[in-house]
Amino acid sequence: MDDFLSKIIDSVRARNEAMKAALGPNDTARLVAARQDTPRGFLAALGASSGRTKVVAEIKRASPTTGVIREDIEPGWLAGDWEKAGAAAISVLTERNFFHGSVEDLQAAREATRLPVLRRDYIIDPYQVPRSYGTGADAITVVVRAVPDDAVLCDIYDSAAKLRLDVLTEIYDQADAERALRLGERCPNALRLVGVNSRDPATGETDLSRPAAVAALFPESTALMCLSGIRTRADIDAVRASCPRLSRFLVGEALMRSEDPGMALRALLKD
């Protein structure tokens, strides 16, 4: 596991254990019971791969590779603006220490839009799944290489399925892809939606040729998404030309750095 990822995972694990100790064993059950609605369909909102370009717009305050991106934001206003601009869904980075996010950002975004909202975080413990559900997420991200134990990964997928949360399986390279394919034999929802990250986790640099090469390993039944590195419509066109199945894109930093995030999204969606 890469050094920066190890630091993030250590931080998340420590926070999980502190929450378990402070809140007690019944806290997740309370959160689940208190939720007033059912999850909005994140995967359904992304549509068929042969359709128009779909963008999941991401609220991302900071990054461990680039530092602070945009701290002074209103998540609800951003989510509403992106819904009007044509976003298929909203993603919210909720990790606190390295990305400066929070579940409060997620809740504010979801209250302001009818779109499904993805909790993008490091889900490394089944304990985090009902907590994600209880705080309003419609889907969660599972970074394959962040959870070395296959049994724990399957527990996470099974818990999400029981709560009707969609899961975005996030991978970086062929080794991650091969592990996800093996997991799919035991946990079918591990292969329903796979996001290929174009960022090199060791260097932080992006290479938009990476997703197409890895995406080819997955069956036609897997919905595919390109994560990271998209800045312009030309980037989207290049990825789609190399792999037409990659018609879904998660875009955060380029939108967050724009003076007009809604207009920036409209430019990306011009098929």
Number of domains in the chain: 1
Q: Is the pLDDT of residue 147 over 60?
A: yes
Domain span at residue 156? 3-268
List the CATH number of the domain containing 18.
3.20.20.70
Kindly indicate the confidence band of residue 180, based on its pLDDT and cuts at 50, 70 and 90.
very high
- Tens-place pLDDT, residues 83-130: 999 999 999 999 999 999 999 999 999 999 999 999 999 999 999 999
Average model confidence (pLDDT) across the chain: 93
Q: Is the pLDDT of residue 77 over 90?
A: yes
Q: What is the reported pTM?
A: 0.94
Q: Is the pLDDT of residue 1 over 80?
A: no
End-to-end, the C-alpha distance of the chain in Å comes to 38
Q: Is the pLDDT of residue 6 over 90?
A: no
Residues 228 and 257: their CA atoms lie apart, in Å, by 14
Cβ-Cβ contacts under 8 Å for 224 (sequence gap 6 or more): 49, 193, 194, 195, 196, 211, 215, 218, 243, 245, 246, 248
- Tens-place pLDDT, residues 222-270: 999 999 999 999 999 999 999 999 999 999 999 999 999 999 999 999 8
Q: What's the gap between Cα 229 and its chain centre?
A: 14
Residues 227 and 165: their CA atoms lie apart, in Å, by 20
* Pairwise pLDDT comparison (12 vs 64), residue with the higher score: 12
How many other C-beta atoms are found inside a 10 Å radius of the C-beta of residue 215?
22
Q: Is the pLDDT of residue 17 over 80?
A: yes
Per-residue DSSP letter, 258: S
